[in-house]
Amino acid sequence: NAGVTQTPKFQVLKTGQSMTLQCAQDMNHEYMSWYRQDPGMGLRLIHYSVGAGITDQGEVPNGYNVSRSTTEDFPLRLLSAAPSQTSVYFCASSSTGTVNQPQHFGDGTRLSIL
């Protein structure tokens, strides 16, 4: 079972460049989400989606863009990368996102902005 797949695993960008972090899940989950993890801190929610065509902002949405055209995919776009966006990014999914469902996480993307 693939579960939640994130690509790439590592990426180095220059300030001002744009890129897309890919996330795909094969569990037919309606709910998908993106988090960032910085040293000494827990994961913080960037954006989430409760189904195809529906997205919403989390705690730290600035500088990031998302769309959800299919149930399977939830890409995260960095519009103009900044050093403050250096972090480990996790994508997660659950069946419907309701309070009783644990989220399944991908293995993460380690992103460095120079």
Per CB under 8 A, contacts with other proteins among 9-48 are 31, 33, 35, 40-45, 48
Number of residues near other proteins (by CB under 8 A): 28
List the one residue from 13, 92, 111, 113 that touches other proteins (CB under 8 A): 92
2 forms part of the interface with other proteins (CB under 8 A): no
Min CB(111)–other proteins separation in Å: 13
Cα of first residue to Cα of last residue in the chain, in angstroms, is: 35
60 forms part of the interface with other proteins (CB under 8 A): no
> What are the φ and ψ backbone dihedral angles of 84, each rounded to 5 degrees?
-65, -15
Tokens 């180095």 belong to residue: 12
* Assigned token pair, 3: 């579960």
Strand, helix or coil at 30?
A: coil
